[in-house]
Amino acid sequence: MTMVARTIGTGMAALGLFACAHPAGNTRMMTTPPSQEPGAASAAHATVSEPTVPVLRITAHKWSFTPDEIHLMVGQPVVLELVSLDVTHGFNVPDLGVRVDVEPGRSMRIPVRPERAGTFTFHCDVFCGNGHEEMSGRIVVTPAQ
């Protein structure tokens, strides 16, 4: 059975999520909020409000991802929040430049802004036991409305 995720809006600041664009065009996960980096201005003095960015939770477990199909739109930012229920899994979407280890007990948040329409396969690239080779899903990116 295929489960489909739809985006739900949640403020990035409220969740402590901070996204940066990597110079090579890939996304970068930040583990320290910008307001806590040396020389950064305090968040209390910020005058620009945070945009609302949808957060999609993806659960990894032997031997599948839930949901295993995600629908996004070109140019619309989203944060993928990945969690593992059992062992360390990998989450790899080569065509979108996304790759992260998902360890049990830790939530990994990855900002993504798809730049082209298409269907992109994601898969576990950390061996997690018998059935690992079937652990995959897809991200369907449609043109902006």
Helix, strand, coil tally for the chain in percent (to 5): 10, 45, 45
CA-based radius of gyration for the chain:
16
CATH number of the domain to which 27 belongs: 2.60.40.420
User: The whole model's pTM is what?
Assistant: 0.65
Q: What is the pLDDT of residue 50?
A: 59
Structural element, H or E, at residue 9 = strand 9-11
Return the closest-CA partner of residue 84 out of 65, 71, 99: 65
Q: What is the pLDDT of residues 51-64, one digit of tens each?
A: 789 999 999 998 89
Q: What range defines the domain where residue 99 resides?
A: 4-142
Domains identified in the chain, total number = 1
